[in-house]
Amino acid sequence: MTASPAPAAPAAPEDYVRVENLRRLFDVSRPWLNRVIERQPRQILRAVDGVSFTVAKGETFAVVGESGSGKSTVARMVVGLLPPSGGEVAIAGVSMTDPRQEAARRALRRRIQMIFQDPYASMNPRWRVDRIIAEPIRAFGLIEGERAIRARVGELLTLVGLHPDDGAKYPHAFSGGQRQRLAIARALASEAEFLVADEPTSALDVSVQAQILNLMRDLQDRLGLTYLFISHNLAVVRHMASRIGVMYLGRLVEIGGGRELFSAPKHPYTRMLLDAVPDIGRSGRQRMPVQGEIPNPISPPSGCTFHPRCPFANARCRAEVPPLADGVACHAVHEGRLAPGLAAAG
Amino acid sequence: MAIPAPALRAETAHRPSAFARFLDSDLFASFRRSKLAMAAFAATLLLFAVAVLAPWISAQNPYDPAQLDLINANLPPIWEAEGQAPFWLGTDDQGRDVLSAVFYGMRLSLVVGVLGVLVSSSIGITLGLIAGYAGGMVDTAIMRIADVQLTFPAILIALIVDGVAKAALGGHLDTDATLALIVVAIGLSFWVQYARTVRGSVMVEKNKDYVQAGRLIGLSAPVILVRHILPNVTGPVFVIATINLALAIITEATLSFLGTGLPETMPSLGTLIRTGNRFLFSGEWWIVAFPGLALAGLVLAINLLGDWLRDALNPKLQ
Amino acid sequence: MTDPVLSVRDLRVEFVTRRGVLTAIDGVSFDIARGEVLGVVGESGAGKSVTGAAVIGLIDPPGRIAGGEIRLGGERIDALPPERMRRVRGKRIGMIFQDPLTSLNPLYRVGRQIEETIRTHTDLSARAARQRAIDLLAEVGIPAPERRIDGFPHEFSGGMRQRVVIALALAAEPELIIADEPTTALDVSVQAQIIALLKRLGRDHGTAVMLITHDMGVIAEAADRVAVMYAGRIAEIGPVRAVVGEPLHPYAQGLMGAIPTLAHDADRLAQIPGAMPRLSAIPPGCAFNPRCPKVFARCRVDRPEPLAVGSHRVACHLYDASGKAAA
């Protein structure tokens, strides 16, 4: 069985994915007529507000955050499903926004694929599985001849742990975990080398989640894949990622290597999250009570958006947005008021 | 690789035929449970069969003046004293067999109804797909036109289209052109419901991940619409089409009754009711009663079928 | 040992479909004592929510309770007429669901809903009921309850809404609270608050809590004992520390190994091959046998009964001394 990694795109630089100052605004105002009549101002949601990170070839970079953090919006912009309002995404040295690089972008298109959260919505329910998996092959004209395409589909199904005969069935005949395998097979059908996985296991049961996470790691080892992994689950992220970015209300508040981020978190939000997560490995420990909830992203707090929930906030935090420096966006850490560590909060 | 393949296979691979799968489907099970649906289906099937077979089962061809004989004019149905075979349901003032006229009229009504549904659904589905997928200004434009049209009764739209076209084409049209005109008039009066429904479904479907996956492999909007979205929005369209078939038949009958539809030389059920109406007070009730009953039966059967289909396809009502 | 608040014996729930009778719950037995939190955990299709629905008496046709008995405070409640069961549900069993909006009427102020429940089930005056409602809101951690009591559900955030639902569930001072995935719709940082609240209230009020969830982490934090369900049966039940720390049933072992944890690095997660069987295809013998790494001949024919092993009860032939010897 060969599923050879595709010949790499021209001159892959050190940073395979470079995201710089990425922004996305959504206009969530009422319709124009209602606004005029009810005298309401326009409402702009800053879903993503100046996010920068890089992903090296072959590594897994994870973006973790709670609802409203903008992590899924980042994923959709990186993969090209959503145009950014500002900033820049470059993959394998090709800008995803520069109109002059349209040709290079088209050639790169098939190298970038996505694995979606809901395995029940990510496949056309009226198509047979072999047709679903063959669609990218046909769309990009990768293989000529029905017989060869069929063989390749069988190979992909085997690669993700299914049987070539399964191609004759419709998606509804498969369980959630099996569908997620099919989604991975489809993503690999176009010889993708960079997969953006948006909460790929959050709809699955834990024993099935383990199968999918293991499969993703196996495939990464075999095919040299690069992952951008989006999740709200810190334990899953810790298991999968070599580097992690923590998002809160549209901004990256901390970024760092997995091990150090979990053993010595810097940002108060990261500490709070780590302390709050119900986790089987740490039951019965004393936890500090978590305060408050995520504010409405349409009218976020001034300055550092975490300040209303932060025990270390002072006047500067309320006024000034902290820049991301040394892997953390926090005035208290920058000023030396707060040293990295788990139990420091409180 | 550490993945045990055999244990992960989906359920046993057997592929029943499409028909076998239909017989096993929830839709068919619901059909089997509903006596009313089965009766309505049987009646609809029978009326369609009559319409298709009209030339072979009628005593005469009511459109052929050579076959009409004034000696047989105004005969009552067979069970009355003056009734005569083969005119089971009597004859009209031209000596035309009422039963044959009903058979042929039903044929015409169904042709107009089915073609009308095809035209209106094609227009509605296309506009609905475009409005739902494109969104923004395109969507607003299409849906505002639909809203404006909805403020007029469908029959009025059909009358306007019919009147304008006749005026533009010079008044004298042959029967085929009249037929085509009525089909277009009906098509233009009923597209809104399809467009609204399809637009709603498209707006749901287009955000589903399978559509996003299609975009990721660079499929164009028309390809995504036709290949991926359209097959997933056909359920509600089918329900509307069934109910609209009855509406289209009634609209045609109304147009013909008002005299702007099919001519007396080629009478549909509506035309028969209009001409028969004149004899109601002179005692020849059968000339209007049987076409009326046929129309009512046809529309009722199709409507019942449509109602059942709507309930069966809507899981929320179960 | 005092009598349990809830006692379920050999519960069997069936669903009649046109393809035959499906058994969703098969021979489930457990007790919950006063002030105890029993976690019921399982993957989708394990039957944990159906078990909860059976206790509340909310199994609607085509489902039916086909066997066993459910006792609340010693009284059988599985065969009560609907009208009496409704009273039991309002007065003696409180309910908390995943989506707080399903429990709250969006058109009524939250105070009115709580007061109504209080006045239906106690003989407090209107004024006393209002004061009690304010106390309850304060107890579940709603800031400024005298003011928030007149708010509408949509004016509360997700976490605050779930607190209101908990206050509502407590309003009639029930003996038992059934919480079905109470934290699943909430953000991680809010989950912890709600779990802590549930645990504290159960203890303070002496209420028995049945906490149904798919999240082993939530169970580990909140429950005193845990029942691990698989394919409509209880695979293992015991004190939470023991079951999470040293699971005995091969399914429970696989499940614990499959959960990634923050506590340590694992290069590979343990994985259980395959998936939970559908109700229409539950294998004979032990329902877990096709996926079990330790399966032997007897597992394929003989259904294991729950056996006491230490503080656990495990339905597995591995722990049946006579069976193992025979194999």
**CA–CA min distance B38, chain C (Å):** 19
Mean pLDDT of chain B: 81
Percent of chain B with pLDDT over 90: 16
Q: Say yes or no for a CB contact (<8 Å) between C290 and B4.
A: no
Specify which residues A53 forms β-bridges with. A19
For A70, the 3-state DSSP assignment is coil
If one compares B282 and A307, the residue with the highest pLDDT of the two is A307
Chain B nearest CA to A163, separation (Å):
6
What proportion of chain C, given as a percentage, has pLDDT over 90?
A: 45
Q: Which CATH superfamily is domain C6-92+174-326 in?
A: P-loop containing nucleotide triphosphate hydrolases (3.40.50.300)
Per-residue pLDDT tens for A17-35? Answer: 999 999 999 888 777 777 7
CA distance readout (Å), C45 to A204, B8, C172: 12, 18, 32
Spatial distance between the Cα atoms of A231 and A203, rounded to a whole number of angstroms: 11
Nearest to residue C8, comparing CAs of C50, C55, C59, C58? Answer: C55
CA-angle at A298, arms to A297 and A299, nearest 5°: 90
pLDDT per residue over C272-317, tens digit each?
888 888 888 899 999 999 999 999 999 999 999 999 998 999 999 9
Q: What is the pLDDT of residue A278?
A: 80
- Yes or no: say if B113 and B245 are a contact pair by the CB < 8 Å rule: yes
Helix, strand, coil distribution of chain C in percent, nearest 5: 40, 25, 40
Q: Is the dihedral of CA A147, A150, A152, A158 positive or negative?
A: negative
Q: What is the pLDDT of residue A6?
A: 44
CB-CB contact of A113 with A137 (8 Å): no
Q: How confident is the model at residue B80 (pLDDT cuts 50, 70, 90)?
A: confident
Residue B172 has pLDDT above 80, yes or no: no
Q: pLDDT higher for A295 or A190?
A: A190
Domain regions of chain A by residue span = 15-247, 265-282+292-346
SS3 per residue for C66-124: EEEEEEECCEECCCCCHHHHHHHHHHCEEEECCCHHHCCCCCCCHHHHHHHHHHHHCCC
From C315, C276, C273, C309, select the one nearest C292 (Cα to Cα).
C273
What does the alpha-carbon distance between residue C71 and residue C29 come to, in Å, rounded to a whole number?
Answer: 11
Using a CB–CB cut-off of 8 Å, the residues of B that contact A are 1-6, 8-11, 13, 15, 208-210, 212-219, 228, 231-232
Contact residues on chain A for B232, CB-CB shorter than 8 A:
124-126
Contact C291 B7 (CB under 8 A): yes
Q: How far is B119 from chain A (nearest CA, A)?
A: 25
**Which residues in chain B are contacts of A211 at CB distance < 8 A?**
3
Residue C325 has pLDDT above 60, yes or no: no
- On the 0-12 / 13-18 / 19+ scale of CB atoms within 10 A, A14 is exposed
Residue that wins the pLDDT comparison between B286 and C247 = C247
pLDDT tens digits along B239-297: 889 888 888 888 888 888 887 777 777 778 888 888 888 887 887 788 888 888 888 88
pLDDT higher than threshold 80 for residue C24: yes
Q: Which residue has the tokens 């139990």?
A: A343
Virtual torsion, Cα B69, B70, B73, B77, nearest 10 deg: -20
- For β-strands A94-95 and A194-198, DSSP reports them as unpaired
How many other C-beta atoms lie within 10 A of the C-beta of residue A158? 18
pLDDT for the residue numbered A287: 62
pLDDT surpassing 90 at residue B315: no
pLDDT of the residue at B7: 37
Q: SS in 3 state form for B81-96?
A: CCCCCCCCCCECCCCC
pLDDT of residue A102: 86
CA-based nearest residue to C136, from C147, C149, C127, C126: C149
CA angle B14, B17, A151 (to 5 degrees): 55
* Interface contact flag, B7 C274, Cβ < 8 Å: yes
CA gap A310, A250 in Å, rounded:
17
Asked if C193 has any chain A CB less than 8 Å from its own CB, the reply is yes
Q: Which chains touch B (3 or more CB pairs under 8 A)?
A: A, C
ipTM of the complex: 0.81
Residue C248 pLDDT exceeds 90: yes
Q: Work out the minimum CA distance from B12 to partner chain C, whole angstroms.
A: 12
Please state, in angstroms and as integers, the Cα–Cα distance from residue C327 to each residue in C296, C300, C318, following that order.
7, 12, 10
> Residue A289: which pLDDT band, with cuts at 50, 70 and 90?
low
Q: For residue A273, which residues of chain C lie inside 8 Å, CB to CB?
A: 188-189
Give the per-residue pLDDT at B6: 36
Q: Measured between CB atoms, does C276 come within 8 Å of chain A? A: yes
Whether pLDDT at B163 is above 90: no
Of A175, A176, A206, the CB nearest to C259: A206
CATH 3.40.50.300 fits A15-247, yes or no: yes
Q: Which fold has domain B35-48+98-317?
A: MetI-like fold (1.10.3720)
What backbone phi and psi angles, to 5 degrees, belong to C20?
120, 180
User: Looking at the whole model, is its pTM more than 0.80?
Assistant: yes
CA dihedral A264, A267, A268, A272 (to 10 degrees): -60
List the domain boundaries for chain B: 35-48+98-317
Token pair belonging to C184 = 């699943």
- Average pLDDT on B216-222 reads 89
Per-residue model confidence (pLDDT) at position B318: 39
**Is the pLDDT assigned to residue A10 strictly greater than 50?**
no
Nearest-CA residue of chain B relative to C271? B3
Predicted confidence band of residue B16 (pLDDT cuts 50, 70, 90) = low
Return the amino acid letter for A295. Answer: P
C28-47 residue pLDDT tens = 999 999 999 999 998 888 99
Residue A69: name the closest of A242, A235, A199, A262 by CA: A199
pLDDT for the residue A286: 60
- Between CA C22 and CA C14 the distance in angstroms is 6
B2/A79 touch (CB, cutoff 8 Å), yes or no: no
Structure tokens at B267: 């009478």
pLDDT, position C281 = 87
Which segments of A166-307 are extended strands (E)? 194-198, 226-231, 243-248, 251-257
Q: How confident is the model at residue C326 (pLDDT cuts 50, 70, 90)?
A: very low
Distance CA A150, CA B300 (A): 50
Q: How many CB atoms lie within 10 A of CB C272?
A: 25
Closest residue of chain B to A172, computed from CA coordinates? B10
Q: Exposed/middle/buried for C221, CB within 10 Å: 0-12, 13-18, 19+? A: buried
Cis peptide, bond prior to residue C100, ω within 30 of zero: no
Region B127-143: what's the mean pLDDT? Answer: 90
The answer to whether B47 touches B57, Cβ cutoff 8 Å, is no
Distance (Å, rounded) from C-alpha B80 to C-alpha B86?
A: 13
d(CA B253, CA B98): 17
CB contact under 8 Å between B209 and A161, yes or no, is no
Q: What pLDDT is attached to residue B71?
A: 76
Name the percent of chain A lying above pLDDT 90: 56
Chain B, nearest residue to C290 by Cα:
B7
**pLDDT category, A49, cuts 50, 70, 90?**
very high
CB neighbour class for C247 (10 Å; exposed up to 12, middle 13-18, buried from 19): buried
Listed in sequence order, the DSSP H helices in chain B are: 18-23, 26-33, 35-57, 98-134, 136-150, 154-169, 175-205, 209-216, 221-223, 234-257, 269-277, 286-313
Q: What average pLDDT does chain A have? A: 87
Confidence of residue B15 (pLDDT cuts 50, 70, 90): low
Question: What pLDDT shows up at residue B225?
Answer: 92
Residues of chain C with CATH 3.40.50.300: 6-92+174-326
* Longest Cα–Cα distance in chain B: 92
